[in-house]
């Protein structure tokens, strides 16, 4: 994001006139605290004037240190779910040493993107369709040109990697729907 560019919104970083992505403030922190608690991931809300600890990308992006996910009210929901997804797919050794950079493989990154879409169904007002639109608005890049096309047509490898962790994830969240279906709102 270049603040000097008059075509970019200073808050969202998106082109002027582009609908804003959903932020933590739009939902509140409680749904995230309640969502992640059963998995053992704590959530810490950071004051608006403070830098987000453990944020790999800086600005308003979520951060990870150990077993804590850090967010501010202006953190995009997709960022919080994405970083949480990295944590969920890590083993205990990686979690113990986690500070800022989640690391992982390209296959894990794809699985994390898939998981954040699936977990969006657990966030009030978000759901898969909104998550996919927000991912496109933010600039996630997929081979087929959109997050929706990737999720529904080209994410078999991501889903396969994610399914290696499905039992542990389902123990924390209940049985999730991992199908590549996007409900029509």
Q: DSSP of 61-91, one letter per residue? A: --EEETTEEEE-TTSBHHHHHHHHHHHHHS-
pLDDT of residue 123 exceeding 50: yes
CA 58 from chain centre, in angstroms, equals 15
CA 43 to the chain's CA centroid: 14
The pTM (predicted TM-score) of the whole model is 0.88
Q: What is the mean pLDDT of residues 170-176?
A: 90
- Backbone CA torsion sign across 67, 72, 73, 78: negative
Residue 13 has pLDDT above 80, yes or no: no
Residue 49, pLDDT > 90, answer: no
pLDDT of residue 40: 94
Query: What is the pLDDT at residue 1?
Result: 26
Whether the pLDDT of residue 17 is over 70: the answer is: no
Q: Are 159 and 180 in contact (CB under 8 A)?
A: yes
Q: What is the pLDDT of residue 2?
A: 28
Q: Is the pLDDT of residue 115 over 80?
A: yes
Looking at residues 81-93, what average pLDDT do you find? Answer: 93
Q: Which residues lie across from 99 on neighbouring strands?
A: 65
Cβ atoms of 56 and 102 closer than 8 Å: yes
Backbone angles phi, psi at 95, to 5 degrees: -60, -40
pLDDT reported for residue 185: 60
């Amino acid at each position: 994001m270049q603040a000097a560019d008059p075509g970019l919104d200073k808050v969202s970083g998106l082109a002027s006139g582009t609908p804003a992505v959903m932020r933590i403030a739009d939902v509140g922190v409680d749904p995230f605290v309640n969502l992640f608690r059963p998995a053992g991931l704590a959530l810490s809300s950071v004051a608006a004037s403070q830098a987000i600890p453990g944020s790999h990308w800086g600005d308003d992006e979520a951060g990870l240190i150990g077993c804590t996910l850090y967010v501010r009210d202006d953190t995009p929901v997709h960022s919080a779910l994405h970083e949480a997804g990295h944590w969920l797919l890590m083993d205990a050794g990686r979690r113990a040493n986690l500070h800022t950079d989640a690391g992982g493989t390209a296959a894990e990154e794809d699985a994390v993107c898939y998981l954040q879409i699936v977990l969006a169904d657990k966030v009030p007002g978000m759901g898969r369709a909104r998550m996919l639109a927000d991912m496109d608005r933010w600039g996630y890049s997929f081979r087929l040109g959109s997050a929706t096309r990737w999720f529904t047509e080209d994410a078999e490898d991501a889903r396969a990697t994610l399914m290696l962790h499905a039992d542990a994830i389902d123990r924390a969240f209940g049985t999730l729907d991992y199908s590549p279906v996007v409900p029509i709102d």
